[in-house]
Chains A and B, each alone.
Chain A
Amino acid sequence: MKKSLRIYLPFVSNELKRQMAYKGAFYLFILISLFGSFISYYLWMAIYGSSDQAVIGGMSRNEMVVYVFMVYVTSSIVTISISDWVSDDVVKGTVAMNLIKPIDYRFSLISRALGDMIYRFLAPGVFIWIGLEIYKVTVLGMAPVTVGGVFLYLLSCVMSFLIYVLFDFCFGMIAFFTTYIFGLQLAKDALLSFLTGQLIPISFFPEAVQRIFDFLPFSSMVYTPVMIYLGKYTGETLWFMLLRQAAWVVILYVLGSLIWKKVTKRLVVLGG
Chain B
Amino acid sequence: MIEVNHISKDFVAPKKYPGLKGAIKGLFSNEKITKTAVDDISFTIEKGEIVGYIGSNGAGKSTTIKMMTGILTPTRGTCTVAGINPSQNRRENAQNIGVVFGQRTQLWWDLPLSESFTILKEIYNVSDEDFKEQMEFLNRVLELQEFFDRPVRTLSLGQRMRADLGAALLHNPKVLYLDEPTIGLDLVVKDNIRKAIKEINEKYQTTVILTTHDIGDIEELCSRIIMIDEGKKIYDGSLENLKDIYGTTKTVSMEVRSPEKVKELALHLPEILGVKEEDCRVTFHKENNVLGVTFDKHKLQVPQILSAVMDVMEIKDVQIQETELAEIVKEIYRHGMTEEEG
Interface residues of A (CB under 8 A from B): 13, 16-17, 20-21, 23
Beta-carbon contact of A21 and B26 below 8 Å: yes
Does B312 have its Cβ within 8 Å of any Cβ on chain A? no
Secondary structure at the A interface, as helix, strand, loop or mixed, is helix
Which residue in A13, A16, A23 is a CB contact (below 8 Å) of B26?
Answer: A23
Beta-carbon contact of B20 and A13 below 8 Å: yes
- Chain B residue at smallest Cβ distance from A19: B23
Contacts of B24 in A (CB 8 A): 20
Beta-carbon contact of B26 and A17 below 8 Å: no
Which one of B20, B24, B26, B27 has the highest number of Cβ atoms from chain A below 10 Å of its Cβ?
B27
- In the complex the two chains form, what is the Cα distance from A6 to B241 in whole Å? 62
- In the complex the two chains form, what is the Cα distance from A84 to B305 in whole Å? 71
Question: Using a CB-CB cutoff of 8 Å, which residues 13-45 of chain B contact chain A?
Answer: 20, 23-24, 26-27
- Chain B residue at smallest Cβ distance from A24: B27
Question: Would you give the shortest CB distance from B312 to chain A, in whole angstroms?
Answer: 61
- Chain A residue at smallest Cβ distance from B26: A23
Interface residues of B (CB under 8 A from A): 20, 23-24, 26-27
Contacts of A17 in B (CB 8 A): 20, 23
13 example contacts (A-B, Cβ-Cβ < 8 A) are as follows A13-B20, A16-B20, A17-B20, A17-B23, A20-B20, A20-B23, A20-B24, A20-B26, A20-B27, A21-B23, A21-B26, A23-B26, A23-B27
- In the complex the two chains form, what is the Cα distance from A23 to B26 in whole Å? 8
- In the complex the two chains form, what is the Cα distance from A21 to B20 in whole Å? 9
Given contacts A20-B26, A23-B27, 7 further A-B contacts (CB under 8 A): A16-B20, A17-B20, A17-B23, A20-B20, A20-B24, A21-B23, A23-B26
Contacts of A21 in B (CB 8 A): 23, 26
- In the complex the two chains form, what is the Cα distance from A21 to B23 in whole Å? 6
Contacts of A23 in B (CB 8 A): 26-27
Question: Would you give the shortest CB distance from B209 to chain A, in whole angstroms?
Answer: 35
Question: Would you give the shortest CB distance from A212 to chain B, in whole angstroms?
Answer: 44
Question: Would you give the shortest CB distance from B73 to chain A, in whole angstroms?
Answer: 25
- In the complex the two chains form, what is the Cα distance from A23 to B23 in whole Å? 9
Contacts of A20 in B (CB 8 A): 20, 23-24, 26-27
- In the complex the two chains form, what is the Cα distance from A204 to B26 in whole Å? 45
- In the complex the two chains form, what is the Cα distance from A20 to B28 in whole Å? 11
Contacts of B26 in A (CB 8 A): 20-21, 23
- Chain A residue at smallest Cβ distance from B27: A23
- Chain A residue at smallest Cβ distance from B23: A20
Question: Would you give the shortest CB distance from A110 to chain B, in whole angstroms?
Answer: 20
- Chain A residue at smallest Cβ distance from B25: A20
Question: Would you give the shortest CB distance from B65 to chain A, in whole angstroms?
Answer: 30
The 9 closest A-B pairs by CB, nearest first: A20-B23, A23-B27, A17-B23, A17-B20, A21-B23, A20-B27, A20-B24, A13-B20, A23-B26
- In the complex the two chains form, what is the Cα distance from A17 to B23 in whole Å? 6
- In the complex the two chains form, what is the Cα distance from A20 to B27 in whole Å? 7
- In the complex the two chains form, what is the Cα distance from A13 to B23 in whole Å? 12
- Chain A residue at smallest Cβ distance from B24: A20
Contacts of B27 in A (CB 8 A): 20, 23
- In the complex the two chains form, what is the Cα distance from A16 to B26 in whole Å? 14
Question: Would you give the shortest CB distance from B2 to chain A, in whole angstroms?
Answer: 39
Question: Would you give the shortest CB distance from A179 to chain B, in whole angstroms?
Answer: 13
- In the complex the two chains form, what is the Cα distance from A252 to B20 in whole Å? 33
- In the complex the two chains form, what is the Cα distance from A16 to B23 in whole Å? 9
- In the complex the two chains form, what is the Cα distance from A13 to B20 in whole Å? 8
Contacts of B23 in A (CB 8 A): 17, 20-21
- In the complex the two chains form, what is the Cα distance from A16 to B19 in whole Å? 11
- In the complex the two chains form, what is the Cα distance from A20 to B16 in whole Å? 12
Question: Would you give the shortest CB distance from A92 to chain B, in whole angstroms?
Answer: 16
Question: Would you give the shortest CB distance from B117 to chain A, in whole angstroms?
Answer: 28
- In the complex the two chains form, what is the Cα distance from A146 to B20 in whole Å? 34
- In the complex the two chains form, what is the Cα distance from A192 to B334 in whole Å? 61
- In the complex the two chains form, what is the Cα distance from A17 to B24 in whole Å? 8
- In the complex the two chains form, what is the Cα distance from A13 to B19 in whole Å? 10
- Chain B residue at smallest Cβ distance from A23: B27
- In the complex the two chains form, what is the Cα distance from A20 to B24 in whole Å? 7
Question: Would you give the shortest CB distance from B20 to chain A, in whole angstroms?
Answer: 5
- In the complex the two chains form, what is the Cα distance from A23 to B22 in whole Å? 12
- In the complex the two chains form, what is the Cα distance from A23 to B20 in whole Å? 13
- In the complex the two chains form, what is the Cα distance from A21 to B26 in whole Å? 8
Contacts of B20 in A (CB 8 A): 13, 16-17, 20
- Chain B residue at smallest Cβ distance from A27: B27
Question: Would you give the shortest CB distance from A114 to chain B, in whole angstroms?
Answer: 16
Question: Would you give the shortest CB distance from A120 to chain B, in whole angstroms?
Answer: 15
Question: Would you give the shortest CB distance from A101 to chain B, in whole angstroms?
Answer: 23
- In the complex the two chains form, what is the Cα distance from A13 to B24 in whole Å? 13
